Amino acid sequence: MTTQTPAVADNAGASAQSTWTCVLFDLDGTLTDSAPGIVDRIDRALTQLGRPIADKSDLFSWVGPPMLESFEQYGFTPNEAIEALDVYRGISEAEGPWSGSSVYAGVPELLAHIKAAGIPLAVASSKPEYQVAQVIEHFDLEQYFDIICGASADETVSAKADVIAEALRRLHHRGVDLTKTLYVGDRIHDVEGATAHGLPVIIVDWGYGTEAEAQGAIAHVSSAAELETHVLG
């Protein structure tokens, strides 16, 4: 995966009512409500590893950032974090990374309308790419996306800015017009990762971020219908 970004217009200050030429979406907390399943798998992984169980409300902050990073912030050494990731990944593989997840209300219709308007769509998630593809396919959303992009399998390349860079590179290779590209997410990692490439961000209120994490976004929305208005006008 590369962090080199194709040239895009300086559209960070663009109006949310602009005609977008491309829209990138986060996955967890934006397209899918995945926290119940993720938190449950983290809880069981910590139990298997003999570690103290964190309060489940605290574990919600793990949803969105790279899981390897979250284990390290919890107190694991780098090598222990890799072992913990393997345990977590084993649980996920046994049940499917979509286990305990659901698609947010109105999202399929939103994607269908944007696709019908001729605007290319992509997923750019810090979840491992093979899992992103599995989740998107499981919920029958792959028909809407030109590109599905995620972290490397070992999550060593998983920073949101790097994943977005790779998504932009692939879109550019396909000849997609990136002059007015929008990113849609729910966490501060989305805002920081997108703005690193000059992309404006819309934050969805139904995700896992706090109000403070929306700082720097051009808008925040409370429903798929409201998001559609911002994207299609």
In the chain, where does the domain assigned CATH 3.40.50.1000 lie? 22-33+101-232
pLDDT band with cut points at 50, 70 and 90 for residue 3: very low
* Chain segment 187-223, per-residue pLDDT in tens: 999 999 999 999 999 999 999 999 899 999 999 999 9
- Model confidence pLDDT, tens digit, residues 171-181: 999 999 999 99
**115 class by beta-carbon count within 10 Å (0-12 exposed, 13-18 middle, 19+ buried):** middle
Give residue 8's pLDDT band: very low, low, confident or very high (50, 70, 90).
Answer: low
pLDDT at res. 106: 98
37, 90, 96, 107, 152 from 93: Cα distances, Å: 12, 5, 5, 25, 16
Q: What is the pLDDT of residue 19?
A: 82
Q: Where, residue-wise, is CATH 1.10.150.240 in the chain?
A: 35-95
Where are the extended beta strands (E) located within the chain?
22-25, 32-33, 102-103, 121-128, 147-151, 181-185, 201-204, 219-221
Residue 155 has a pLDDT of 80
* 94-130 tens-digit pLDDT: 999 999 999 999 999 999 999 999 999 999 999 999 9
Phi-psi region of 29 (alpha: psi -120 to 50; beta: other; left: phi over 0): left
Q: What are the CB-based long-range contacts (under 8 Å, 24+) for 67-71?
A: 67/155, 68/154, 68/155, 68/156, 68/158, 69/155, 69/158
Q: pLDDT grade, residue 17 (50/70/90)?
A: very low
What's the CA gap between 196 and 218, in Å, rounded? Answer: 15
Spatial separation of the C-alpha atoms in residues 99 and 135, rounded to whole Å: 9
pLDDT of residue 15: 43
Per-residue pLDDT reduced to its tens digit, 64-96: 788 988 899 899 999 999 999 999 999 999 999
Q: In which band, very low, low, confident or very high, does the pLDDT at 16 lie, cut at 50, 70 and 90? A: very low
Q: What is the third-level CATH fold of 22-33+101-232?
A: Rossmann fold (3.40.50)
**Per-residue pLDDT band at 2 (split at 50, 70, 90):** very low
pTM above 0.75, yes or no: yes
Tens digit of pLDDT for each residue in 134-162? 999 999 999 999 999 999 988 878 899 99
pLDDT, one tens digit per residue, over 50-68 is 998 777 778 888 887 889 8
Residue 216: count of CB within 10 angstroms of its CB: 15
**C-alpha dihedral sign at 16, 64, 145, 103:** negative
35-95 is classed CATH 3.40.1190.10:
no
Active site residues: 26
